[in-house]
Amino acid sequence: MTGPLHLLKGGVRVHPVVPLTVCDSYIRRGPKQARVIGTLLGTVNDGVVEVTSCFTVTHSESLEQ
């Protein structure tokens, strides 16, 4: 990204598989896992953010976090 987000005037496009993948990751989380953390992948062209893919990031949390 070449500048602050407020300069992105074209909006955001999300590929249909992205929200489905997020929901699937949440449903498949472990029984004691309160949340799922992941990464969005995509591009910025002419002020338009296009999210094309995503994946979960394996992590663990303790009560102190």
Calculate the alpha carbon distances from 27 to 14, 41, 52 in Å.
Answer: 20, 21, 21
Whether pTM exceeds 0.85: no
Amino acid identity, position 11:
G
Structural domain count, the chain? 1
Check residue 56 and give its pLDDT: 94
Q: For 4-52, what is each residue's pLDDT tens digit?
A: 656 567 899 999 999 999 999 999 998 888 889 999 999 998 889 999 9
Q: How far is CA 43 from the centre of its chain?
A: 13
- pLDDT at 2 exceeding the cut of 60: no
Residue 4 lies in a domain: no
Domain extent, residue 31, equals: 10-56
Check residue 58 and give its pLDDT: 86
DSSP conformation letters of 26-44: HHTS-TT-----EEEEEEE
Residue 21 lies in a domain: yes
DSSP 3-state of 64: coil
Residue 23 lies in a domain: yes
